[in-house]
C-alpha cells in the first residue's frame, strides 16, 4: 500500500545548495562593505567640498571706502581702501591675503608688505581700529584696516584721470571681493598729496 521513496542524491543536492547560498551571502557582505566604505568616502568629500564652498563665499573682506592721493603731474600715486570683515565671515588674516591689481597696462598680484611702505609687488596695511591687538587679522566686525596700493610704483607714473583699475582681494580660504575704481575726471588744480575720493 505504501511505497518507500528513496533518493540517494537528495543529501548531495542540499549540500550544494547550501554552499551556493553561503557563497552568495559572502559576496553580498563584501559588496555591502565596499558600498558602505564608498558612501563614507563620498560623504567626507562632499562635506569638505561644501565647507570650502562656504568659505569662498563667506570668508572675505568688505571695502567701506576708497580714496586716492594726488601725485606730481596730476596723477594718482596711491590708492587707499578701508576694509573690514564681510557679514557672516570668519576671521581673515590680511598677512595671507593677496590683491590682484588689474589696469589697462599692468596685472600684478600684491601681498602684504613686510616693511612700512607699499611697493610694486606689496600693499601696505595700517590699523584704524583693532579690538584685541591682533594686528593684521580681521577677527571682529569692529576691526578696520587701511590697505594702501602704490600705483606710482606699479604703473611707473601713477594713474591718469579717467583710468580704471580692478582690485580683487582674495583671502587664504578663497573668498574674493572685487572693487572697480575709476580715477577722477578733474585732477587739475589739486595739490600734491591731497586726497581725492575714488
| pLDDT in the model for residue 180 | 95
User: Are 53 and 132 contacting, i.e. CB atoms less than 8 angstroms apart?
Assistant: no
pTM of the entire structure? 0.71
| pLDDT in the model for residue 49 | 67
Taking 70 as the threshold, does the pLDDT of residue 1 lie above it?
no
| pLDDT in the model for residue 65 | 94
Rounded CA separation 145/154 (Å): 22
pLDDT in tens, 138-156: 999 999 999 999 999 999 8
Taking 80 as the threshold, does the pLDDT of residue 84 lie above it?
yes
CATH number for the region 60-188 comes to 2.60.40.10
| Residue 125 CA neighbour count, 13 Å, CB half | 24
| pLDDT in the model for residue 102 | 96
What are the φ/ψ torsions at residue 135 (nearest 5 degrees)? -55, 135
Would you tell me how many other CB atoms lie within 10 Å of the CB of residue 161? 14
What are the φ/ψ torsions at residue 34 (nearest 5 degrees)? -65, -45
User: Are 180 and 110 contacting, i.e. CB atoms less than 8 angstroms apart?
Assistant: no
Domain ranges of the chain: 8-58, 60-188
pLDDT in tens, 108-132: 999 998 788 899 999 999 999 988 8
Q: Which residue has the higher pLDDT, 146 or 45?
A: 146
| pLDDT in the model for residue 164 | 93
Instruction: Using a pLDDT cut of 90, give the percent of the chain over it.
Output: 43
Question: If you average pLDDT over residues 70-81, what whole number do you get?
Answer: 88
Q: Per mean pLDDT, which of 12-16, 47-51, 61-65 is the most reliable?
A: 61-65
Closest to 148 measured CA to CA, from 130, 177, 125: 125
Amino acid at each position: 500500500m505504501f511505497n518507500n521513496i528513496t533518493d540517494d542524491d537528495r543529501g548531495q543536492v542540499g549540500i550544494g545548495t547550501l554552499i551556493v547560498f553561503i557563497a552568495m551571502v559572502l559576496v553580498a557582505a563584501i559588496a555591502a562593505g565596499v558600498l558602505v566604505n564608498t558612501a563614507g568616502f563620498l560623504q567626507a568629500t562632499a562635506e569638505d567640498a561644501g565647507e570650502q564652498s562656504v568659505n569662498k563665499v563667506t570668508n572675505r573682506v568688505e571695502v567701506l571706502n576708497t580714496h586716492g592721493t594726488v601725485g606730481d603731474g596730476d596723477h594718482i600715486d596711491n590708492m587707499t581702501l578701508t576694509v573690514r570683515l564681510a557679514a557672516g565671515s570668519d576671521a581673515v588674516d590680511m598677512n595671507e591675503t593677496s590683491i590682484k591689481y588689474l589696469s589697462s597696462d599692468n596685472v600684478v598680484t600684491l601681498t602684504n608688505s613686510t616693511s612700512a611702505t607699499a611697493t610694486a609687488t606689496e600693499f601696505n596695511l595700517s590699523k584704524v581700529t583693532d579690538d584685541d591687538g591682533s594686528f593684521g587679522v580681521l577677527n571682529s566686525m569692529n576691526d578696520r584696516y587701511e590697505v594702501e596700493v602704490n600705483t606710482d610704483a606699479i604703473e611707473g607714473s601713477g594713474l591718469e584721470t579717467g583710468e580704471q583699475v580692478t582690485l580683487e582681494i582674495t583671502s587664504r580660504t578663497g573668498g574674493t571681493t572685487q572693487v572697480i575704481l575709476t580715477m577722477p575726471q578733474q585732477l587739475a588744480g589739486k595739490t600734491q598729496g591731497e586726497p581725492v575720493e575714488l
